[in-house]
Chains A and B, each alone.
Chain A
Amino acid sequence: MCGIVGLHLKTPVLYARLGELMAPMLDCMSSRGPDSAGIALFDEARPGRLRLSLHATEVIDWDSLGRELAQDVSASVAVEPLGDVAVFSVDADQDLAERSLRRLAPSVALVGTGQSMEIFKDVGLPREIIARYGIEKRSGYQGVGHTRMATESAVTTEHSHPFAPAADVALVHNGSFSNPASVRRRLEREGIRFETDNDSEVCARFLARQMQHGADLGDALRLVQKDLDGFFTLLVATKNQFAVLRDSFACKPAVIAETDDYVAMASEYHALAGLPGIASARVFEPAPEEVYTWTR
């Protein structure tokens, strides 16, 4: 079992409250997944600002690493240190910045990149992770979150969700795939690199591969139905889209609430019950095999 939550804001007035609105949603899903939690938050892209979401398993002097990175890529680097994680904002090409970072700090995990997206994830209770990274104070236009109860692979930061298979793409998954190994082998033959043995990562990289080939998120999700077998409720966010898909049997729960101000999604309704205007929201259960997308 796992819990997933998502919020796609339509009204800019609410952007400042994204973290404040999502934190209780994530906390509420602790009952579905108490071993790890994570959240991807999307904020307006600014030219020349690539965000690198970093996670360290040992003590790192983030400011010093930021200075080394700035020197190495000859670009400005803004550092937001948050204990064992940090967000670097770099005015440099993504490949260059990633390569440099891997060389400078091979033990630091890059959990997400993008112009818009930041990812915070770790092992532990959702409320601890929310507090540790100040999620309530963060802003943005959409986010996806996950509370994990691991069933098929190890409990580590890398194995926790969201998975970010490409810049500004985040996937959270409730369920289990039954043929991830064969899909993974196929992707590996095509040169796709994996970081964990998690089945959800296979789905994330499969989606990214389809989008890399030109599919939009909706098309890519329809291809998931064709190629990946198993149980899933998927919530995926890209820079400008927010999408939900459930498997043919709808084995894993999902509920969506939509108002003029937002689209909210969760595994269980009570995670949505505190949202503003929920009483007049259109609340519905996504049908199996139907791809739901919202675009900003």
Chain B
Amino acid sequence: MDPVILSCAELSTRELNAALAELTDGATARIVEPWGRHNMAVGLTNRITIDIDGNAGYFTGGLGDGPDLTIAGFVGWSTGENLMSGTIRVRGNASECTGASAHGGTIIVHGDASSRTGISLKGGTVLVGGDVGHMSGFMAQAGVILVGGDAANGLGDSLYETVIYVAGSIASLGADARVEELTDSDVKTVRELVDLAGFMHIDPENVSRVASARELYNFDALTEQRY
């Protein structure tokens, strides 16, 4: 089936997203002349495939619950913010807050991702081929972050149960984050993520596992607690 072509030169953001929302499961769409437009392909719940033919702005693919989205260029802040399911693949670099609060789904950035990558992650998977900026994984609660390059200062500050794997160096860890021993299970997880993203430069047996030391938080919703 030929893709539906949608041009940002002709459509407002609202019209673009409405046109995408109307597509039936299995359809494909191509967004042309994106020119760094914000809020493209947000809030979609259909199982469609979308290609953005250039650079995109803020919140690209945010709140998505179904689509598979590929951006040919780079993206602005908060790509895949609050993602529920589906995949977002960025061929270039990503700006700040990639995958912020994502509950599910997978965000793959082939280049670098900037500060606060995976901030407050709630179960999504964030895979970055290059480096990540400062305060990445800040207060991340669940899900996985994989970094193929280096991590800047304050990695995993106030981390809850997200696990961060870093192939390169870590400039510094944030409060309550620590490097833990890599288990066979970790290696298996990283191998699957590397295969999924196509990040062949990452050796799954040679990454650092960063997780919470659990000294800053003490609640556990699954057990009886007295406060």
Using a CB–CB cutoff of 8 Å, the interface residues on chain A facing chain B are 249-250, 253, 255, 268-270, 272-274, 283-285, 287-288
Contacts and interface: CB of A to CB of B under 8 A. Distances in A.
Given A285-B95, A288-B115, A268 B133 contact: no
Interface in B124-152: 133-135
B43 interface: no
A270 B38 contact: yes
Contacts of B133: 250, 287
A250 B134 contact: yes
B114 A270 contact: no
B57 A270 contact: yes
Nearest to B95: A285
Contacts of B93: 284-285
B160 interface: no
Interface in B40-68: 55, 57-58
Contact of A269 (B57, B115, B134, B135): B57
Nearest to B74: A283
B114 A269 contact: no
B36 A253 contact: no
A273 B55 contact: yes
A285 B114 contact: yes
28 contacts: A249-B115, A249-B135, A250-B96, A250-B133, A250-B134, A253-B76, A253-B95, A253-B96, A255-B76, A268-B36, A268-B57, A268-B58, A269-B36, A269-B55, A269-B57, A269-B76, A270-B35, A270-B36, A270-B37, A270-B57, A272-B36, A273-B55, A283-B55, A283-B74, A284-B93, A285-B95, A285-B96, A288-B115
Sort chain B's interface into a size bin. 10 to 19
B77 interface: yes
> Taking chain A's interface residues, is the majority helix, strand, or loop, or is none over half, making it mixed?
loop
Contacts of B38: 268, 270
Residues of B contacting A: mostly: loop
Given A253-B76, A268-B57, 16 more contacts: A250-B114, A250-B133, A253-B77, A255-B76, A255-B95, A268-B38, A269-B36, A269-B57, A269-B74, A270-B36, A270-B37, A273-B36, A284-B93, A285-B96, A287-B133, A288-B134
A217 to B, nearest CB: 25
Nearest to A273: B35
B85 to A, nearest CB: 27
Nearest to B77: A253
A204 B133 CA distance: 28
B132 to A, nearest CB: 12
A274 B55 CA distance: 12
B227 to A, nearest CB: 32
Contacts of B58: 268
A281 to B, nearest CB: 11
A130 to B, nearest CB: 19
A285 B132 CA distance: 12
A42 B12 CA distance: 35
B77 A274 contact: no
A249 B134 CA distance: 8
Contacts of B77: 253
Contacts of A285: 93, 95-96, 114
Contacts of A274: 35
Nearest to A288: B134
A274 B33 CA distance: 11
